[in-house]
Every structure is written in C-alpha cells, then in structure tokens.
Amino acid sequence: MNIVLIGFMGAGKTAVGQKVAEELGYKFVDTDELIEKTAGISISEIFAAKGEDYFRDLETKTLKNLSGSKDLVLATGGGMVLRSENVKILKQLGPVVLLWADPEVIFERIKNETHRPLLKVADPKAEITNILKFRQPIYKKAADFVVATDRLSVAEVTEKVVDYVKNKG
Ligand code: S3P
C-alpha cells in the first residue's frame, strides 16, 4: 500500500509526509522534488521558462512513473489533483489524504517563502483565497480522508494520518 497526501501549498504535505513515512517505515517521495531532480532546475524556473501547462505535464509523467510502487508516502504538488487523470492514478496508488487549512493559516505559513511561482503576485492572500475556493471541491472529491490542520502541529496531523491508515488495515 501507499499513502497519498494532497492539499494546498503550505498544508504541511512534506513535513507530515516525512513523519508519517518514518513512523510506518515507508519511503517518502515528493513529486515536486522528483520533478526538480529530473529537470535539473527548480519549479520556479520551470514555470518561468516553460509555463504552467508544461509543469502540469511533468506532474502527470512523474505520477505515471510511480504507478505500481509500494510502501510510499507520496506528497503531491498542490495542483496535482487538477487533472482527473492524475486523481485516477493517485487513487490507484492508495488512500488519498487531504491536508486542509484555511486561507489565513496558509498565508501565515507561506508568507516568508519564495519558491512558489503561483503566489508571486501583488496580493498573495487574495490569490490563496481565490485558488483555494476554486480547488476546494476538487480536493474534497479526490480525498478518502480529510485532516483539518489549522490548529494542529505536524506531530498531531501525523498521528491522525497514521491512525487512519492503521485502522484501514
Ligand atoms: C503548486 C504547488 C507547489 C508546486 C507548484 C504548483 C500548486 O507544490 O507544485 O508551485 O499549483 O498548488 P506545494 O503544494 O508542495 O507547494
């Protein structure tokens, strides 16, 4: 089995994913990281040089390469669920866990970071609210289990994910 983490930028997919992997003895894989490794440049550079559609193609390719994998905790880029073909692959990989956070919390978590091209805009807070509103139904539909992370620490979110996975058997 694998565990798939989805959710918006700043939802904690990487931090939680690493910890969940540690606790379950699974391997942690992050699609953004795989894409950067393969491309040899950063995601910001990919967006700048080739645009978002090209990046989305790389996401789908990366995911296809992972299908058939076992014992992974997979953290996905925040936009991975935008393509229904990606969601299909994610669901085949294993239970899909949505890490949810409200826009204010996301903004607080990411405001000092600079590596997210979609948020390099004049008003990132408004941008987060807009994108999140658009994506909310897509995230919720793709998810088998949702953790509202707003008031939780990484350790607490990890515990919820691990409990969920263990109870699934
Ligand atoms: C994106 C999220 C980013 C990264 C890219 C696009 C998005 O990943 O894939 O900047 O569309 O939400 P994180 O969610 O890991 O920040």
Residue 156 has a CB neighbour count (10 Å cut-off) of 13
Q: Which of 42-46, 77-81, 87-91, 114-118 has the lowest mean pLDDT?
A: 114-118
Query: Can you tell me the distance from the alpha carbon of 101 to that of 86, in angstroms, rounded to the nearest whole number?
Result: 22
Largest pairwise CA distance in the chain = 46
Burial of 90 (0-12, 13-18, 19+ CB in 10 A): buried
Q: Is the CB of 12 under 6 A from ligand 1?
A: no
Mean pLDDT of the chain: 96
Q: Is the CB of 9 under 6 A from ligand 1?
A: yes
Find out whether 99 and 80 touch, Cβ atoms under 8 Å.
no
Q: What is the DSSP letter of 122?
A: S
Tell me how far the alpha carbon of residue 151 is from its chain's centroid: 19
Closest C-alpha to 16, from 82, 93, 74: 74
Condensed to tens digits (0 to 9), the pLDDT of residues 113-132 reads 888 999 999 999 999 999 99
Q: Is the CB of 46 under 6 A from ligand 1?
A: no
Q: Is the CB of 78 under 6 A from ligand 1?
A: yes
Q: What is the pTM of this model?
A: 0.97
Residue 152 has a CB neighbour count (10 Å cut-off) of 17
Minimal-distance CA residue to ligand 1 atom 4 = 77
Mutational test site, ligand 1, from 9, 73, 133, max ligand atoms within 8 Å of CB: 9
In this predicted structure, the answer to whether residue 169 has a pLDDT above a threshold of 80 is: no
How far, in Å, is the centroid of ligand 1 from the Cα of 163?
26
Residues 75-99: what's their mean pLDDT? 97
What does DSSP say about strands 96-100 and 72-75: parallel, antiparallel, or unpaired? unpaired
Condensed to tens digits (0 to 9), the pLDDT of residues 31-40 reads 999 999 999 9
